[in-house]
Amino acid sequence: MLDKMFGKIRRAPMLANDQVDGVIVINKPRGVTSFDVVAKVRRAIGQKKVGHAGTLDPDVSGVLVVALGKATKLIDELQSRPKRYVGDITLGFATETEDLSGEIISEKEITVPYSDQQIDEAIQSLNGSIKQVPPMYSAVKVAGKRLYEYARAVETVTRPIREAHIYDFHRTSLVDYAHQQQKFDFEATVSKGTYIRTLAVDTGRQLGMPATMTRLERVMGSGMTLSQAIELNDVMTWPRTAILEKVIPISKLLNWPIKPLTDDEWFAVKNGQVITQWPADDNYLQLTYQDEVKAVYAYNQNTGEWRSRYVFNNK
């Protein structure tokens, strides 16, 4: 079905010594899984080593950062960076999935609309460090099984409480009142591991009202925005050379201090040796040799040593 929707997929040959290293930002459409996007990028680029930094649910559109080659080593780092979403929240009903993909489990008519101030106060109370209980329909594992597996089997399980940080969550539209429900747009910049669906539900809970996230789009992920993204259809129809022009190199992904290496230092780094001569620092260090980023080293406060964290090229 996806092939019919987006056109025939080109298969690019995998060439010897032709691995692409970096990331490409895709504007994922609704109705497509993050795995689908990775599979299509893999085929278009012509290499197996492809992954993504931060899953988007099928019903969510927007920024999906796809890592290629040696940049896949940075997925954990990329996922740890803040993400920004826009969407809307509807007060008056709740679903089993906390979004529109699930069955309605609770409804409550709003006979006296909440004021803008009441809604904004509820939103403001969720800014900062908060605790969330992840949705039952999520991939969080408990006792070796994902929560959505328990949900589908109608099994009861205690969900873990997770910490999240909400950098900025605010309303971006007028509040619409119709059919005994209220609806408004929002923007939220959040930490890794935050469930925006749950943020919507918790907003309603602050008001004593069931609530559902009724639309969501990620507009920034891992520091990359929609302005840098290409459409999934472009991935499948552009020539490989045109796609490669959109690849962001590893050197542009790192924001740690840069340390050029001497010949002796490079010999130590390429052989994975620990280094004790460099000054202590809380930061990681990007290590370059002959103007190429070769590795990233991290300082161990306990041992007083610099040790390899990422290696991109030891030749």
Most distant CA atoms of the chain, gap in Å = 75
Nearest alpha-carbon partner for 15 in 294, 245, 240, 238: 240
Tokens of 271: 């052989």
User: What ranges in 179-251 are assigned the alpha helix state H?
Assistant: 196-207, 232-237, 240-244
Q: Are 289 and 258 in contact (CB under 8 A)?
A: no
268, 277 contact by CB (below 8 A)? no
**Radius of gyration, CA atoms only, the chain:** 23
Active site residue 3: no
Q: With H, G, I as helix, E, B as strand and everything else as coil, classify residue 140.
A: coil
* 20 touches 3 (CB < 8 A): no
Measure the CA–CA gap between 64 and 24, rounded to whole angstroms: 9
Tell me if 195 sits within 8 A of 83, measured CB to CB: no
Question: Torsion over CA of 95, 96, 99 and 102, rounded to 10 degrees?
Answer: -90
Q: Which residue in the list 57, 88, 99, 202 is annotated as catalytic?
A: 57
Q: Counting every residue, how long is the chain? A: 315
Closest CA to 299 of 313, 270, 272, 278: 278
Q: Residue 302, SS3? A: coil
User: 11-43 burial string, b = 16+ CB within 10 Å, else e?
Assistant: ebeeeeeeebbbbbbbbbbeebebebbbebbbb
Mind telling me the catalytic residues? Answer: 57
